[in-house]
């Protein structure tokens, strides 16, 4: 079978199509937020929150919940808000707070899974939660719809608040001084980030989420010099890399998450080189 035939064959299965839809949506949402997070020096919030989500999943597994999404969503959102609050007036500063919460949740999640788990294959479960190796191929219809609705909400919030997000990211002091409700928008960003991360867990697992959040933004920043251009470019890049990564992984049988991240890394390399050439050409 040729590569194309093989792809066509796999894509005739609903699970592969579902995976593609979810993958594209998650890549889009995470890249939109990524620009703001990277610029606000919050690159690691993705990593931290995804470990919180891992803890949430472990808890749901222990409680024997069939659908763990609501619980995970609530836990992650609460932590996101908490981290943001802490960032403003705390004795433990931003990066330390994120690192602390992140490792504690990872540890407690793994502990819970080990001590209480009913499954025979604990390390397998843990591995797939961390690297998202298979779960994206086992999505059912409900998962896909939840993902579509949440992604639509994320994109809508982002578009409607785009100018506010820009103002708050570029200069929070000025925004607050001139009457923009910066706290509200920071809170909003935190909630949306939590939603995106919970969605992305299915795709790449909790260890690789940071890649989805920061790579497209960093790549776009090598090439473009305005906020709008960077945002659009980052979204396009992220979606392309996700599609490419998933097609390759379906055809070649590689793990989905790591393949997507590898594609993102390659794209960053290309953008880095292109950025250097561009700067050199301008003198």
Partner 1 sequence: MRTVLGLQPPLAGKVRFEEGMTRGELGYLPQQTEIQRDFPASVWEIVLSGCQGRKGFHPFYDASDKRLARENIEKLGIAPLARRCFPELSGGQQQRVLLARALCATRRLLLLDEPVSGLDPRATAEFYELVGRLNRKDGVAVMMISHDVHLALRWSRHILHIGKTCFFGTRDAYRRSDVGRHYLSLQHGEVYE
Name the residues that contact partner 1, by CB under 8 A.
39-41, 159-164, 166-167, 169-171, 173-180, 221, 224-230
Tell me how far, at minimum, the Cβ of 221 lies from partner 1, in Å.
5
Q: Which residue, 6 or 163, has its beta carbon nearer to partner 1?
A: 163
Q: Which residue, 61 or 267, has its beta carbon nearer to partner 1?
A: 267
Among 4, 86, 16, 33, which Cα is nearest to 216's?
33
**Is residue 1 helix, strand or coil?**
coil
Tell me how far, at minimum, the Cβ of 218 lies from partner 1, in Å.
11
Q: Which residue, 219 or 249, has its beta carbon nearer to partner 1?
A: 219
**Contact in structure between 125 and 103 (CB atoms under 8 Å):** no
CA angle 96, 73, 216 (to 5 degrees): 65
Q: Which residue, 6 or 41, has its beta carbon nearer to partner 1?
A: 41
Tell me how far, at minimum, the Cβ of 263 lies from partner 1, in Å.
23
Tell me how far, at minimum, the Cβ of 173 lies from partner 1, in Å.
5
**Contact in structure between 24 and 243 (CB atoms under 8 Å):** yes
Q: Which residue, 131 or 158, has its beta carbon nearer to partner 1?
A: 158
Q: Which residue, 74 or 159, has its beta carbon nearer to partner 1?
A: 159
d(CA 204, CA 272): 24
Q: Which two tokens stand for residue 138?
A: 């086992």
Tell me how far, at minimum, the Cβ of 17 lies from partner 1, in Å.
33
Residue 247: partners with Cβ closer than 8 Å, 6 or more residues away: 7
Q: Which two tokens stand for residue 178?
A: 């001139």
DSSP state of 210: H
Tell me how far, at minimum, the Cβ of 157 lies from partner 1, in Å.
10
Number of neighbouring beta carbons within 10 Å of residue 188: 17
**Contact in structure between 195 and 154 (CB atoms under 8 Å):** yes
């Amino acid at each position: 079978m040729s590569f194309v035939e093989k792809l066509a064959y796999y894509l005739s299965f609903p699970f592969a199509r579902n995976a593609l839809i979810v993958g594209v949506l998650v890549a889009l949402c995470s890249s939109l937020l990524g620009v703001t997070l990277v610029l606000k020096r919050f690159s690691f919030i993705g990593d931290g929150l995804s470990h919180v989500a891992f803890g949430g999943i472990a808890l749901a597994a222990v409680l024997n919940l069939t659908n763990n999404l609501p619980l995970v969503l609530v836990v992650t959102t609460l932590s996101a808000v908490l981290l943001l609050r802490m960032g403003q007036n705390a004795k433990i500063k931003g990066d330390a707070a994120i690192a602390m919460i992140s490792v504690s949740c990872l540890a407690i999640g793994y502990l819970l899974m080990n001590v209480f788990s009913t499954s025979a294959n604990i390390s397998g479960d843990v591995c797939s939660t961390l690297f998202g190796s298979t779960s994206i191929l086992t999505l059912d219809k409900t998962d896909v719809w939840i993902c579509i609705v949440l992604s639509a909400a994320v994109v809508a919030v982002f578009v409607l608040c785009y100018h506010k997000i820009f103002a708050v990211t570029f200069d929070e002091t000025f925004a607050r001084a001139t009457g923009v409700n910066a706290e509200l928008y920071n809170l909003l960003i935190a909630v949306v980030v939590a939603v995106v991360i919970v969605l992305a867990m299915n795709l790449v697992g909790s260890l690789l989420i940071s890649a989805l959040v920061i790579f497209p933004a960093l790549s776009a920043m090598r090439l473009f010099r305005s906020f709008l251009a960077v945002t659009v470019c980052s979204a396009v890049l992220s979606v392309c890399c996700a599609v490419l990564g998933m097609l390759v992984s379906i055809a070649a049988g590689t793990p989905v998450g790591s393949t997507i991240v590898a594609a993102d890394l390659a794209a960053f390399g290309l953008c880095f080189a292109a950025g250097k050439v561009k700067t050199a050409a301008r003198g």
